[in-house]
Amino acid sequence: MAGSHGSGPTSRKRSGAQSARTGSSRGAALSVGERRGGSFYGRRKGKALRPGQRQAVKTLLPILLIDLGSAPPRKLASLFPVPVLEIRLEIGFGGGEHLLHGARTHAEVGFIGVEPFANGLAKAVTAVSREGIRNVRLFDQDAALLLDWLKADSIARIDLLFPDPWPKKRHWKRRFVNQDNLGRILRVLKSGGEFRFATDVESYAEWTREEVARHGKLITSHDSEAPWDDWPGTRYEAKAARAGRGAKYLSFRKTQ
């Protein structure tokens, strides 16, 4: 899952989906995600799933997946089969280390995890199944679609941890943080809610500070080289650290 700092979003090899082109005559051809006007440019599948993962995906994933074809429930907490006091959303959870740590340690919180990459999703579903975790729901497409589906003022915290870095300047427009997605995030956050962002790419940290400032509706509450308390780490972060790259951890609050 960890991102290379080459041209692609992550260290995964480019797949057919990722490199599929529209035949546009523009200098840089459009990717599938871009053609749809979405925020997802990565690939959806990697190596074959293990039998246990295939089984968990077959039996449990349909139950955990949020269906955008139905209207969101009046009380979002009713998405969970157990009572939850607040709901957090993690965008691009990768292998699910951070998402699952949250779910294990905060039974009173409902967690919605978004990950379009099938192998990451399968890992999370397998752990949820094995451990009998009840406070997790999942979504397997572009997080922008889920943000548009969610009711306003419904989410206490949104985590975007080590999003695909798109380090090349000509790809910066593919970064998940942009004015449209900040608007989506702001809409669904509760008043006082927090947007967390982490990256090992200095230009993305700076980009995010600037985009948030331009947006003007979120207040910086954390900007540090140290992560938040009770931080389990993520796979991508560990890979970056092994390569000698530190990270920046930023939090922004919705004040009204």
Ligand X SMILES: C[S@@+](CC[C@H](N)C(=O)[O-])C[C@H]1O[C@@H](n2cnc3c(N)ncnc32)[C@H](O)[C@@H]1O
Q: Does 227 bind ligand X (CB under 6 A)?
A: no
Residue closest to ligand X (Cβ): 92
Candidates 17-25, 150-158, 219-227, 233-241; binding stretch for ligand X (CB under 6 A): 233-241
Nearer to ligand X by C-beta: 31 or 129? Answer: 31
Q: Does 32 bind ligand X (CB under 6 A)?
A: no
**Residue positions counted in the chain:** 256
Return the closest-CA partner of residue 162 out of 251, 234, 244: 234
* Catalytic-labelled residue, pool 164, 180, 223, 229: 164
The DSSP code sequence of 11-32 is: SSPP-HHHH------SSSPPPH
Q: Does 200 bind ligand X (CB under 6 A)?
A: no
Candidates 80-88, 184-192, 205-213, 228-236; binding stretch for ligand X (CB under 6 A): 228-236
Nearer to ligand X by C-beta: 118 or 219? Answer: 118
Q: In what order do the strands lie in the sheet with 86-91?
A: 136-139, 109-114, 86-91, 155-161, 189-199, 248-254, 218-224
Contact with ligand X (CB under 6 A): which of 151, 187, 222, 235?
235
Dig out the tokens for 39 from the structure. Answer: 């925020």
User: Do the bridges between strand 136-139 and strand 109-114 make them parallel or antiparallel, or are there none, so unpaired?
Assistant: parallel
Quickly list H helices, the chain. 16-19, 32-35, 51-59, 61-64, 97-105, 118-131, 143-149, 179-188, 202-215, 235-242
Contact with ligand X (CB under 6 A): which of 18, 31, 39, 53?
39
Total binding residues toward ligand X, as defined by CB under 6 A? 26
164 is catalytic: yes
Q: Does 114 bind ligand X (CB under 6 A)?
A: yes
Return the closest-CA partner of residue 184 out of 65, 32, 35, 38: 38
Nearer to ligand X by C-beta: 36 or 82? Answer: 36
Angle between helices 118-131 and 97-105 (to 10 degrees): 20
CA atoms within 13 A on the CB side of 192: 1
Closest contact distance (angstroms) between CB of 149 and ligand X is 13
Return the closest-CA partner of residue 146 out of 184, 110, 119: 184
Q: Does 3 bind ligand X (CB under 6 A)?
A: yes
Q: Does 142 bind ligand X (CB under 6 A)?
A: yes
Q: Does 176 bind ligand X (CB under 6 A)?
A: yes
First vs last Cα of the chain: how many Å apart? 35
Nearer to ligand X by C-beta: 190 or 235? Answer: 235
Binding site for ligand X (CB under 6 A): 1, 3, 10, 39-40, 42, 91-94, 114-117, 120, 142-143, 161-164, 176, 234-237
Catalytic residues: 164
